[in-house]
Amino acid sequence: MSRISPYGSWSSPITAAEVAAAGGGPQWLDVVGGEVWWAEARPGEQGRVALVKAVPGGTEDVLPPPWNVRNRLHEYGGRPWAVAGGVPVFTHWADQRVYAQSETGVVAITPEPAEPQGVRYGDLRAGRPGEVWAVRERSTGPRPADVERELVAIAVDGGGERVLAASHRFLTVPKLSPDGRHAAWFGWDHPLMPWDGTELCVAPVAGDGSFGPHRVLAGGPDVSVCQVEWETPASLLAVLDPDGWWNLHRIGLDGSAVNLAPVERELGGPLWKPGSRWFAALGGGRYAALSSGRLVVLDEADGSVTPVAGELTAWSSTAFTVDGPDVVGVAGGPEREAAVVRVSPGGAVADLTPQPSLPHAYLPVPQERVFSTADGEAVPVVLYPPRNPEFTAPEGERPPLLVYVHGGPTGQHLPQLDLEVAYFTSRGIGVAAVNYGGSTGFGRAYRERLREQWGVVDVADCVAVAEALVAAGLADGDRLGIRGGSAGGFTAAASLTTTKTYRAGTVMYPVLDLAGWTGTEGDTHDFESRYLDGLVGPLPQTRSRYMARSPLANVGKLAGPVLFQQGLEDRVCPPEQADRFVAQLAGGGIPYAYQRFAGEQHGFRQAATIVAALEAELSFYGQVFGFETPGVARLELSR
């Protein structure tokens, strides 16, 4: 028999420590000599990323502590390891240098920079024999946007490095053609982001390994290439969106282009981390591909795109490849945590990492819903209702609701098991994960609903969903909250300072001062330093928009209590903006709290931080929404 208790106050076996233990997980997967290797984030080891491989009966570390397989390319990181000529090569977080592992130990193969982490490498890939190729990023001045990048070849034996090309301000690692005579990559320049427009480049490779002048084969300011691979010495396979959807194309060295299966589906995604993959060749004109997080097989013979292993609804683009006829990657689903899996041609799923024992009766069942805005725009949502077999709410009570705002803002919420979500839903708090205008997975037109409308469309879409759920009796209109991190933190803060829909919100590592964040004089990094040209508008012509939409300029309009959470080493959204916002709250009468975490960057990776942040957030909602939070320390609120 279930007990009657108010929503939010239910006790749950899903603890913050369990959520932290599930954080991070496997990423950057590949097959090496028939073995499956991947990088694995470990919150319990202060967020270290280990390099591991699957072995009979479990896994084995390839690199012991303190090696931390991670890099700062574009600050979000690119593919951090490769195997070149049988030698594992990787980037180490502490100094950003490239190292090689041999029988005698681990040795640095790039020089120590003059300034700590002043030279960074990422998107590693085996190149010509004896070389690993990478994107090299160098700081050239005191500002975060003072950066230059080149494509480089690094001798695995420590014999030095050489520049291959520097076609654009932003680049992906070159890939060598099967005959070794050409190399292909893509790049882009400010103010474009890679999902706006990129150019696919090909250059001849001389006998000594040097590159000749490059040609642009595909792409442009309104066409985004997000992955390219060689098919034959004379043709490439690339995902690009000239028709408004990322589809798989064959590109000839003569510039010809053929869409292998024209579909209104996204078979690609936003390139936040160079080295991500959305397709891999299976042979015989068949390709494994990711379609908005789901696995499909594309057959160019009939242009079909067929779903496979439908229980896996959330594949990772940083961990996706093929091994013979099988697909190997990291995937999860509505009832499965993300794990390393192998999928056979018939769709059978085998776990290469074990599924944890979870209290499934306490886990929410995600529901894919679509709501409409006032002007008729459809907004997809993944809804997670409260669920706990031990408790029932008092008759007539409606649950509090948290609107989850993803980052990017090009992210996409997928219907998958998320223990962070379950932490709240198992305690009686509903979650609505909104794929607002600007989200990827729904075509370029939907993505570009946010062009010059950031802080308007995203805010309105989230409000429309929250109010529709209240009208449907699925949420308590007096207990609506909003939460988000990074770009989602901006939308959460903008919502709290421009609408009265929400009673409270949690704002994590956010953008709060638009003009102060962007441009060469702003305090963000180079990759996103011109991002707001497209999201808000070019400066100085649209400066008034920057002021009107900046949460920092609207602190006096704050709708209710707010919890800020911020990493002190964040180079994407530095803590200075949150510091300034919180300083203006002091003495204003609205309850607030500010958690600042040492040793954390953009997003939280250490177990202790994840636990402290999550428990504080639950206590915060309990105090604001009026329910008890058993087993959680009370967060002290200031006014």
Helix boundaries (H) for 370-472: 419-425, 444-447, 457-471
* Spatial distance between the Cα atoms of 356 and 20, rounded to a whole number of angstroms: 13
**Encoding tokens for residue 324?**
């013979």
Residue range(s) of every CATH 3.40.50.1820 domain in the chain = 359-625
The pLDDT value given to residue 307 = 97
Place of tokens 């300083």: 583
Q: What pLDDT digit, counting tens, does each position of 176-204 carry? A: 999 999 999 999 999 999 999 999 999 99
The pLDDT value given to residue 432 = 98
- 3-state secondary structure (DSSP) of residue 438: coil
Please answer whether residues 275 and 314 qualify as being in contact, where contact means their C-beta atoms are separated by less than 8 angstroms: no
Half-sphere exposure of 596 (CA within 13 A, CB side): 9
* Spatial distance between the Cα atoms of 491 and 562, rounded to a whole number of angstroms: 13
Please answer whether residues 293 and 333 qualify as being in contact, where contact means their C-beta atoms are separated by less than 8 angstroms: no
Helix axes 457-471 and 487-498, enclosed angle (nearest 10): 70
* Spatial distance between the Cα atoms of 621 and 482, rounded to a whole number of angstroms: 11
What is the DSSP code string of 241-275? -TTSS-EEEEEETTS-EEESS--SS-S----SSTT
Low-confidence ranges of the chain (pLDDT < 70): none
The pLDDT value given to residue 208 = 97
The total of other beta-carbon atoms located within 10 Å of residue 51's CB is 21
Superfamily for domain range 359-625: Alpha/Beta hydrolase fold, catalytic domain (3.40.50.1820)
**Would you say how long the chain is, in residues?**
639
What is the DSSP code string of 328-380? EEEEEETTEEEEEEEE-TT--EEESSPPP---GGGS---EEEEEE-TT--EEE
What strands, in cross-sheet order, belong to the sheet with 304-307?
Answer: 279-283, 286-291, 294-299, 304-307
**Encoding tokens for residue 355?**
């599924």
Q: What pLDDT digit, counting tens, does each position of 403-446 carry? A: 999 999 999 999 999 999 999 999 999 999 999 999 999 999 99
The pLDDT value given to residue 446 = 98
**Encoding tokens for residue 241?**
């969106």
CA distances from 522 to 315, 321, 526, 603 (A): 35, 38, 10, 20
The pLDDT value given to residue 289 = 98
Q: What are phi and psi of 585, to 5 degrees?
A: -80, -25
The pLDDT value given to residue 538 = 96
* Spatial distance between the Cα atoms of 48 and 41, rounded to a whole number of angstroms: 6
Q: What are the strands, taking DSSP E only, across 487-619?
A: 504-510, 562-567, 592-597
Please answer whether residues 331 and 339 qualify as being in contact, where contact means their C-beta atoms are separated by less than 8 angstroms: yes
Tell me the CA end-to-end span of the chain in Å, nearest whole number. Answer: 42
- 3-state secondary structure (DSSP) of residue 571: coil
The pLDDT value given to residue 1 = 75
Please answer whether residues 16 and 615 qualify as being in contact, where contact means their C-beta atoms are separated by less than 8 angstroms: yes
**Encoding tokens for residue 491?**
């939308």
The pLDDT value given to residue 557 = 96
- Name the burial class of residue 329, with classes exposed (0-12), middle (13-18) and buried (19+) by CB atoms within 10 angstroms of its CB: buried
Sort strands 235-240 and 247-252 into parallel, antiparallel or unpaired: antiparallel
Closest C-alpha to 127, from 172, 82, 93? 82
* Spatial distance between the Cα atoms of 434 and 413, rounded to a whole number of angstroms: 7
The pLDDT value given to residue 121 = 98
* Spatial distance between the Cα atoms of 503 and 621, rounded to a whole number of angstroms: 10
The total of other beta-carbon atoms located within 10 Å of residue 520's CB is 13
The pLDDT value given to residue 281 = 98
CA distances from 244 to 239, 274, 305, 434, 440 (A): 12, 22, 17, 22, 12
**Encoding tokens for residue 586?**
């002091």
The pLDDT value given to residue 23 = 80
The pLDDT value given to residue 589 = 94
Dmax (CA) of the chain: 78
**Encoding tokens for residue 322?**
């093929």
Contacts of 276 (CB under 8 A, 6+ apart): 226, 227, 269, 317, 318
